[in-house]
Amino acid sequence: MTVKPRITENAAWTGARPVLSVLMPFLRDDPRDLLQLLDREAASLGRSVEIVVLDDGTGDIALTGGLIDVITHMSLPVRLITLAKNEGRSVGRNRLAAAARGGSLLFLDSDMRPDAFHFLGPWADLVKAQDPAVAFGGFSLLQAPTDGKFAVHRAMAVKSDCLPHDVRALTPEKYVYTSNLLVRRDVFEAEAFDSAFTGWGWEDVEWAMRVSRRWPVIHIDNPATHMGLDTTASLAGKYEQSAANFARVVAKHPDIVSGYPSFRVAKKLKRLPMLKTVRPMIKQAALTDWLPVKARAFSLRLYRAALYAEAV
């Protein structure tokens, strides 16, 4: 028996005619802090921006109750969709888009924190002035935790992900993540996320590859901090989950992926006769606390490439 989603809306939702819908999925994370930070801009935005939140099957009654209380008191229009069962990242984002009313959709992960007080305002202004097909605002680690257990992930993200907008624009489809991503509705309806992707990784980049063949992808300087850094063991586990997704991307977009360093390294590693034997050793080096952070980060990147070698 299919259980219908529970829908909760605050008073500001009724009658609002937003130009921009902020879409925020979460699973077990607590989005209340982010919602309250965004609501600080309500007075300057009027009802031009709404927020749609998706609880993708968390099943936490206390969290749901606290979240409803926060939403009820917010000035921005907010709708909460609570699912009884997890549907996954791609399906969840498609559901969010269907529930939104704005002509442009801002996908914003619940573990993000705006790096400036005025965050939604610049996005709404961009929509009104340019109505871009796709735009990525960037993300940083300015507010992220600095605990030693996150040092490897921090080092990797700073080097490969937290890049200025002009650098990202050189390979626009590569640096597109749904953590802070604006998509015009007609573009999303023409090219939705591929629900065949499961687990973690690559569904947003693959989507951007498809979209970039039809529309321009622009990059702007409106970053938010990614608060959800992972331990090295957790990140290694995510890479293990992502190998099948990477294989799917290679099969669908070989012309684009072949230019990525991760693909080229994986291709070289594939030729090693003892790769499956060596791979656990590479992982262990990444997990070894007494090694320098740079060496551990290199080992983890190499481990990821070794996993991906089976897909190239």
Q: What is the pLDDT of residues 250-261, one digit of tens each?
A: 889 999 888 888
Whose CA is closest to 141, among 230, 28, 75? 230
CA 167, 171, 177, 181 torsion-angle sign: positive
Q: State the chain's maximal CA–CA distance in angstroms.
A: 64
Question: What distance, in Å, lies between the first and last C-alpha atoms of the chain?
Answer: 41
CA dist 84 and 97 (Å) reads: 19
Q: Which CATH number fits domain 6-229: 3.40.630.30, 3.30.70.660, 1.10.8.420, 3.90.550.10?
A: 3.90.550.10
Whose CA is closest to 171, among 212, 115, 117, 230? 212
pTM equals: 0.89
Across the range 131-154, mean pLDDT stands at 95
DSSP string, 35-102: HHHHGGGHHHHTTSEEEEEEE-S---HHHHHHHHHHHHT-SS-EEEEE-SS---HHHHHHHHHHH--S
Q: What is the pLDDT of residues 44-98, one digit of tens each?
A: 998 899 999 998 888 888 988 999 999 999 999 999 999 888 777 777 888 899 9
Q: Would the pLDDT of 274 be above 90?
A: no
Domain boundaries, the chain: 6-229, 231-312
The amino acid at residue 5 is P
Environment class of 94 (CB within 10 Å of its CB; exposed 0-12, middle 13-18, buried 19+)? middle
Q: Would the pLDDT of 2 be above 70?
A: no
> Which tokens hold the place of 306?
């070794």
Q: What is the pLDDT of residues 152-169, one digit of tens each?
A: 999 999 998 899 999 999
Residue 199 pLDDT: 73
Across the range 202-226, mean pLDDT stands at 92
CA dist 252 and 249 (Å) reads: 5
- 203-207, 216-220, 244-248: which is most confident: 216-220
